Amino acid sequence: MTKGRRIRAARTGTFAWLTASTVICVAACSAPRVAMAAEADSRSAVVFMYHRFGENNYPTTNVKIEQFEAHLSEIESSGLAVAPLPEIVAAIKRKKPIPDRTIALTIDDAFKSVYQEAWPRLRKAGLPFALFVATDAVDAGRPDYMTWDQIRELSEWGVTIGSQTSSHLHMPMASQEKITADVSRSMRRLKEELGFVPTLFAYPYGEFDNNVKGEVEAAGFDAAFGQHSGVAYGGMGMFALPRFSMNQRYGDVERFRMVANALPLPVTDLTPADAVIKNNPPPFGFSVAENVSGIGALACFYSHESEPAKLIRLGPLRIEVRALEPLPAGRVRVNCTAPAGNKRWRWFGTQFIVPPQIADKAPD
């Protein structure tokens, strides 16, 4: 009998913890603005993201085999509940409770090391996971990618297959016509090869803006995931769900353990309203719920800066987060954390996309 509260993958795709007998919240779920912290906690889960396994020449997207095995050992020994991603999405969408310390495992890009290294270990442990596939690379027969036969094998075992476009597109930089065509081609190829159209989507590079989110939703997906850190919880948008990225630099078991035990930092009134910024640095801010503990010790970090960002508190609930310098071109992530007690942390993250024409420019 394993110590971990595993939820094993099954060919049926059904799991016992999300049942008709699950209690549905009523008044709190219809409350406006930010869900109360306790309610957000009871409807939250941590989602991990991987890319490569044992491909040590790619440290920013790879985890070493010993790191991954340490993660699996932590799951085994610590009592984490590993749930299939569709079950978590359904619970969040329907505002149903999720057991404490529930996590999901996801993998992007369908590299061959998933099949050769990660898959045998996850299968042996009986752990469900999701694989997001960019179909053009598979169709091209790239030697570092899985084949369709291998992806079918995973799907038949019970692995959740999702879309990551066909060409691994920089979506916010593409035209609406290109986005629509790329997503449609991916869905068509997955249907042709696997016999179904996926319901979950992962943004390539974690890049999205409001237009991209709208296109993905209009395509018929149930939810979409980025690559910004944070805890997914009931009350947040279903097309900007966060995931914690694991790689060689940030893949030690201590970080895995800390992240697996994270709790949501529920926020609302987020500014700016879109990820593609027009002012540099952006006027980033948010409001928090009244009963969130630890806000006095809140700290926020921009990914391009080594020092904490400047926090401006506009009363007890509104936090403005100011970068110390203009943001560089490309993707810039922000992580905000606050102590939650019992060695746990509340965590909220977001990502900005900085157009080259405004990068590193001081505001007028």
pLDDT at residue 1 in the model? 36
pLDDT at residue 99 in the model? 96
Band (127; pLDDT cuts 50, 70, 90):
very high
The mean of the pLDDT values for the chain is 89
CB 281 within 8 A of CB 271: no
pLDDT at residue 160 in the model? 98
- Whether 4 has a pLDDT exceeding 50, the answer reads no
Band (36; pLDDT cuts 50, 70, 90):
low
pLDDT at residue 29 in the model? 31
Checking 148-156 for CB contacts under 8 A at 24+ apart, the result is: 148/193, 150/115, 151/110, 151/193, 151/194, 152/193, 152/194, 154/115, 154/119, 155/194, 156/11
pLDDT at residue 16 in the model? 43
Q: What is the pLDDT of residues 245-286, one digit of tens each?
A: 999 999 999 999 999 999 999 999 999 999 999 999 999 999
- Whether 291 has a pLDDT exceeding 70, the answer reads yes
pTM of the shown model: 0.90
Which of 44-58, 277-291, 325-339 is predicted least confidently? Answer: 277-291
- Whether 217 has a pLDDT exceeding 80, the answer reads yes
- For range 100-118, the mean pLDDT: 98
Band (111; pLDDT cuts 50, 70, 90):
very high
Q: What is the pLDDT of residues 69-91, one digit of tens each?
A: 999 999 999 989 999 999 999 99
Full 3-state SS string of the chain: CCCCEECCCCCCCCCCCCCCCCCCCCCHHHCCCCCCHHHHHHCEEEEEEECEECCCCCCCCEECHHHHHHHHHHHHHHCCEECCHHHHHHHHHHCCCCCCCEEEEEEECCEHHHHHHHHHHHHHHCCCCEEEECHHHHHCCCCCECCHHHHHHHHHHCCEEEECCCCCCCHHHCCHHHHHHHHHHHHHHHHHHHCCCCCEEECHHHCCCHHHHHHHHHCCCCEEECCCCCCEEECECCCCECCEECCCCCCCHHHHHHHHCCEECCEEEEECCCCECCCCCCCEEEEECCCCCCHHHCEEEECCCCCCCEEEEECCCEEEEECCCCCCCEEEEEEEEEEEECCEEEEEEEEEEECHHHCCCCCC
Q: What is the pLDDT of residues 302-324, one digit of tens each?
A: 999 999 999 999 988 999 999 99
Pairing of strands 344-354, 263-264: parallel
- For range 19-32, the mean pLDDT: 30
Q: Which domains does the chain have, with CATH numbers?
A: 5-264 (3.20.20.370), 268-358 (2.60.40)
- For range 140-163, the mean pLDDT: 97
- For range 205-216, the mean pLDDT: 96
Q: What is the pLDDT of residues 162-210, one digit of tens each?
A: 999 999 999 999 999 999 999 999 999 999 999 999 999 999 999 999 9
- For range 138-156, the mean pLDDT: 98
| Of 185 and 19, the one with more pLDDT | 185
Of 5-9, 34-38, 257-261, where does the model show the most confidence? Answer: 257-261
